[in-house]
Homo-oligomer: A and B are copies of this chain.
Amino acid sequence: MKKILPLISILLLSACSSQNLRGTGDLGLIIERAIGQVQLVEHTGNTSLATIKGLGDLSHASIVYSRDARYGYVFGRDGGLTKIDVLQQKIVKRVIQSGNSIGGAISQDGKLIAVSNYKPGGVKIFNSDTLELIVNIPAVYADGKQSKTVGLIDAPGQLFVFGLYDASEIWVVDMKNIEKPVITKFKDIGLFPYDGLVTPDGRYYIAGLFGEDGLAMLDLWHLEKGVIRIMDHYGKGKEKLPVYKMPHLEGWAMAGDKMLLPAVGHHEVLVMDKNWKQVKAIAVHGQPIFVMSRPDHRQMWVNFAHPRNDTIQVIDTETLEIIKTLKPGKAVLHMEFSPRGEHVWMSVRDENRVDVIDTETFEVVKSLTADKPSGIFFTNRAHKIGL
């Protein structure tokens, strides 16, 4: 015993230390969409740490993080809401909360997880510890029909904001008192809001419209002003070009007083000033999907829709010119910057690869193997508004 016990102690302690005792500030999860799993990575050494299986249908999946950056909440297409412990590298809880969901958000205080649903529609809000349902908000409109909900985001003041695709409405839910959610409804905001974003300061909610041109904008600091229309010509336009994929609004990027956004259908990145007027259109390689700002706002990185999705272009935010065109490979679906911007991670789905690229030299510093990778989500998102 005398000899064995200390030995066992050391083994056990070192075991638990080596596996679990680590900071969570440099971790990330990558969606492996085809096989329902996520890959856990770290961006200090740019390595893969683990694979976590059993998450169901992860097409169009997204992830938010708890405020301690320990738990990732994965929103799956099949209505699955899965809570992952990145330290124990396992699923701690999983619920199928609807038939078909399209993303979610975490409240400012970290205590609430909201999920946006297509079937049956509406938004459900869960306790982030237990995943117990706290509030069900059916998106009911004309004669009792339920709408799909889209573009769900969190905002300061314990708000959740989302669009009602079928009802042409935007709803703002104030969850300060979880016993009595206060819902403010904005009607006739435009046909078929299909996605939304909030500016990085959490102030302006902007919804894209599938049914008409222009954008619906709501100032969350002044709900009394109601929803106004901006960028009247934004959208598919009269020519009705083939749109291979509607752009992701979350990708919109601010740089100083400029905002860059992907045109719909056209091979252009649009530049909007702080008065929400278009001041320029930058010709790019294809139909842009994500236009993402490097954390220091000096560069914007753009990926494109099929069939031109093998290419990435980098725009200089001072000159608004393309300074680099990269060909990472087939189907570059998503990008995520390291928190302070020295690297960008890139999912190259059809080549089962994630590349880590130096944003100054544009060299690939590391390639990781991943199964049909799509979304990449680093834990520093835990501290950001509106993701």
A contacts, CB < 8 Å to B: 1, 5, 8-9, 12-13, 16-17, 20-27, 42-44, 65-71, 86-88, 108-110, 156-158, 201-203, 221, 256-257, 274, 295-298, 318, 339-342, 360, 379-380, 382-385
Contact = CB atoms under 8 A, between A and B. Distances in A.
A70 B342 contact: no
Nearest to A9: B12
23 contacts: A8-B12, A12-B16, A16-B16, A23-B24, A23-B86, A24-B24, A25-B68, A25-B382, A26-B67, A44-B68, A156-B295, A156-B298, A156-B340, A156-B341, A203-B296, A256-B274, A257-B274, A296-B385, A339-B384, A340-B385, A341-B385, A380-B383, A383-B383
Nearest to A342: B108
A20 B17 contact: yes
A340 B384 contact: yes
A230 B380 CA distance: 34
Given A16-B16, A221-B318, A257-B257, A67 B25 contact: yes
Given A221-B318, A383-B25, A383-B383, A67 B298 contact: no
A68 B22 contact: yes
Contacts of A43: 67
Number of this chain's copies in the complex: 2
Given A12-B12, A201-B296, A201-B297, 15 more contacts: A1-B1, A16-B16, A21-B87, A24-B24, A24-B25, A25-B65, A25-B68, A25-B70, A43-B67, A158-B342, A201-B256, A221-B318, A256-B274, A257-B257, A380-B380
A339 B385 CA distance: 9
Nearest to A87: B21
A173 B202 CA distance: 35
A300 to B, nearest CB: 13
Contacts of A156: 295-296, 298, 340-342
Contacts of A23: 24, 66, 68-71, 86-87
Nearest to A66: B23
Nearest to A294: B156
A218 B110 CA distance: 39
A234 to B, nearest CB: 22
Contact of A26 (B22, B68, B380): B68
Contact of A295 (B42, B66, B340, B385): B385
A114 B376 CA distance: 31
A203 B256 CA distance: 11
Nearest to A295: B385
- Which 6 residue pairs across A and B have the least CB separation, nearest first? A25-B69, A23-B70, A23-B68, A339-B383, A26-B68, A380-B383
Contacts of A158: 342
Nearest to A15: B13
A317 to B, nearest CB: 10
A140 to B, nearest CB: 30
Contact of A20 (B21, B67, B203, B379): B21
Contacts of A340: 67, 108-109, 156, 383-385
A1 B274 CA distance: 72
Contact of A202 (B24, B257, B296, B384): B296
A9 B339 CA distance: 38
Nearest to A24: B23
B24 A68 contact: yes
A84 to B, nearest CB: 12
